[in-house]
Amino acid sequence: MRIVLVGPPGAGKGTQATRLAEKLRIPHISTGDLFRANISRQTELGKLAKSYMDAGNLVPDEVTIAMAKDRMEQPDAECGFLLDGFPRNVSQAEALDELLKTESIQLDAVLDLEAPEDEVVKRIAGRRICRKDSSHVFHVSYSPPKKEGVCDVCGGGLYQRDDDTEETVRTRLEVYHTQTEPIIDYYKAQGLVVTISALGAVDEVTERALEALE
Q: Which residues bind ligand ADP (CB under 6 A)?
A: 7, 9-15, 18-19, 31-32, 35, 52-53, 56-59, 64, 85-86, 88, 92, 123, 126-127, 135-139, 142-143, 152-153, 163, 172, 200-202, 205
Our answer to whether residue 170 is catalytic in this structure is no
Our answer to whether residue 208 is catalytic in this structure is no
- Report whether 35 belongs to an annotated binding site: no
Q: Listing from the earlier edge strand, what are the strands of the sheet with 158-159?
A: 137-139, 127-130, 158-159
State the Cα–Cα distance between residues 131 and 185, nearest whole angstrom.
Answer: 36
Start-end of H helices in the chain: 13-24, 31-40, 44-55, 61-72, 90-102, 117-125, 166-175, 182-188, 202-213
Helix, strand or coil, per DSSP, at residue 141: coil
Q: C-beta of 99: minimal distance to ligand ADP in Å?
A: 14
- Report whether 200 belongs to an annotated binding site: yes
Amino acid (one-letter) located at 87: P
Our answer to whether residue 47 is catalytic in this structure is no
Our answer to whether residue 172 is catalytic in this structure is yes
| Residue with Cβ nearer ligand ADP (35 or 81) | 35
Our answer to whether residue 41 is catalytic in this structure is no
CA gyration radius, the chain? 16
Annotated binding residues for ATP, written as ranges, equal: 10-15, 127, 137-138, 200
| Residue positions annotated with a catalytic role | 13, 88, 127, 161, 172
Annotated binding residues for AMP, written as ranges, equal: 31, 36, 57-59, 85-88, 92, 161, 172
